[in-house]
């Protein structure tokens, strides 16, 4: 079975690896002329790390990522509101990882080209439209190098082209633009002395628009050296105001200094962080309304194309990786690709749609919002209730992740032999 994957980001590349592992022939079509190691930090939760490990990437991932051991929620003064262990320290069989998004993407790209061949990722192809027939899908692109049209024929088309997905736009032509909550995120990375124990993700503040996040994404070269720290400062430019210069605007050094100077956190030197950040970019906090369907015949969506969500709970990228594994599993389980995509839709969409709505309601970061209202740490048990409820919704408690059956397709082949033997 041939599958065209639109989008060469983390979701699209992991989709190609998952489909290849299941015995299919995927090809990735990416609009950018070249895939480059750009971006800032991202967290991969244990349920996503399990899937990448089962794809044989555990060694490569460990070489570029850092496993945080603790999540620390703090108030605006830096005092502790709630803490919990992460990854193996929390009883998972797999670690959690913090990693530079660009390095993760390069790792996945290298794996795709090694396993699927050098032509498995075609760049400079801007998706235009698709046509379905009873036996396949014709995906039309504009070749940005030649200016000529290009067509990819496949049995299945997967839209993994992000929050502004062109595939989604064809499926839902009258959908409104992404929804913002008025919060803008200033994001940067800088070498800085280790924060707290050097293995903590720190979220300080309260409600959206009044938060600061910092975590290391790379070990320092020496035990006493500086670590590469990812940081995010949330600001507001009025209710639902769009960024003045569009998403990805470069924040000036003066703006970064001014924004960070309003915070006084004893465990981090914010002035040094601002000075050492070579580039700080501004992005709106935005999502889209949950969809009633992801799959239409031989066409489906995954990742941010299917379920863009507010970055509460560090779950967006991790859920995208799970999408890819379930999609490959469904295609291997069903003889009819249309039935497989319907099955994938039923298995993933309701749960992830609920997660999108939970993130609109602050997700686990409701802990610090309520603590701010309460004037201090929440009464005993309340914070744990909030975080546990969210993890269950995401299918990401230690018990759920550790005991769930594998999505690896080798097990399905054995099941089929047993059924038909």
Structure tokens at 98: 């913090």
Instruction: Give the sign of the dihedral formed by CA 227, CA 40, CA 183, CA 84.
Output: negative
**Token pair recorded at residue 269:** 């030197």
Q: How far, in Å, CA of 349 to CA of 355, rounded?
A: 10
- The pTM of this model reads 0.93
What is the structure's pLDDT at 296? 98
The string of pLDDT tens digits covering residues 196-255 is 999 999 999 998 899 999 999 998 877 778 999 999 999 987 544 455 555 688 999 999
The string of DSSP codes covering 11-73 is: HHHHHHHHHHHTT-EEEEE-SSSS------EEEE-HHHHHHHHHTT-HHHHHHH-B---EEEE
Q: Which residues contact 28 (CB under 8 A, 6 or more apart)?
A: 5, 7, 8, 12, 13, 15, 16, 112, 120, 121, 122
Tens digit of pLDDT for each residue in 66-106? Answer: 999 999 999 999 999 999 999 999 999 999 999 999 999 99
Residue 245 confidence (pLDDT): 53
Tell me: pLDDT of 419 over 70.
Answer: no
Which residues touch 401 (CB under 8 Å, ≥6 apart)? 46, 47, 50, 92, 93, 94, 395
Domains of the chain: 2-177+288-420 (3.50.50.60), 180-215+229-287 (3.30.9.30)
* Of 322, 347, 340, residue with least CA distance to 401: 322
Contacts of 76 (CB under 8 A, 6+ apart): 204, 205, 206, 210, 263, 372
Torsion of CA 216, 221, 226, 229, to 10 degrees: -20
Mean pLDDT taken over the chain:
93
Please state, in angstroms and rounded to a whole number, the distance separating the CA atoms of residues 388 and 380: 14
Q: What is the pLDDT of residue 132?
A: 96
pLDDT in tens, 270-329: 999 999 998 999 999 999 999 999 999 999 999 999 999 999 999 999 999 999 999 999
């Amino acid at each position: 079975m041939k599958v065209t994957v639109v989008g060469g980001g983390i979701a699209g590349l992991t989709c190609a690896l998952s489909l290849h592992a299941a015995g299919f022939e995927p090809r990735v079509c990416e609009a950018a002329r070249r895939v480059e190691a750009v971006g800032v930090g991202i967290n991969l939760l244990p349920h996503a790390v399990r899937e990448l490990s089962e794809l044989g990437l555990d060694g490569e991932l460990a070489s570029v990522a850092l496993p945080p051991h603790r999540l620390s929620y703090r108030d605006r003064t830096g005092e502790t509101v709630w803490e919990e262990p992460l990854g193996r320290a929390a009883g998972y069989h797999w670690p959690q990882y913090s990693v530079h998004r660009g390095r993760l993407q390069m790792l996945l790209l290298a794996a795709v080209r090694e396993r699927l061949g050098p032509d498995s990722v075609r760049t400079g192809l801007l998706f235009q439209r698709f046509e379905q027939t009873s036996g396949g899908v014709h995906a039309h692109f504009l070749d940005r190098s030649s200016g000529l049209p290009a067509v990819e024929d496949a049995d299945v088309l997967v839209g993994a082209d992000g929050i502004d997905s062109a595939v989604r736009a064809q499926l839902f032509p009258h959908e409104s633009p992404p929804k913002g909550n008025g919060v803008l995120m200033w994001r940067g990375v800088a070498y800085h002395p280790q924060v707290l124990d050097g293995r903590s993700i720190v979220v300080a503040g309260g409600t959206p628009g009044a938060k600061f996040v910092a975590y290391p994404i790379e070990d320092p070269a020496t035990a006493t050296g500086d670590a590469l720290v990812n940081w995010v400062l949330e600001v507001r430019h009025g209710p639902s105001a769009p960024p003045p210069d569009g998403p990805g605007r470069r924040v000036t050094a003066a703006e970064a200094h001014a924004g960070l100077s309003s915070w006084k956190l004893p465990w981090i030197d914010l002035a040094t962080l601002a000075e050492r950040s070579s580039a700080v970019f501004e992005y709106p906090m935005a999502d889209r309304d949950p969809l009633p369907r992801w799959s239409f015949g031989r066409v489906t969506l995954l990742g941010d194309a299917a379920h863009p969500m507010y970055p509460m709970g560090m779950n967006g990228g991790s859920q995208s990786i799970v999408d890819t594994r379930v999609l490959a599993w469904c295609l291997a389980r069903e003889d009819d690709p249309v039935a497989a995509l319907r099955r994938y839709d039923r298995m993933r969409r309701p749960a992830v749609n609920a997660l999108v709505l939970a993130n609109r309601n602050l997700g686990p970061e409701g802990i610090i919002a309520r603590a701010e209202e309460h004037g201090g740490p929440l009464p005993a048990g309340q914070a744990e209730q909030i975080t546990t409820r969210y993890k269950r919704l995401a299918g990401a408690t230690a018990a759920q992740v550790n005991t769930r059956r594998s999505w690896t397709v080798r097990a399905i082949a054995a099941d089929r032999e047993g059924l038909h033997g």
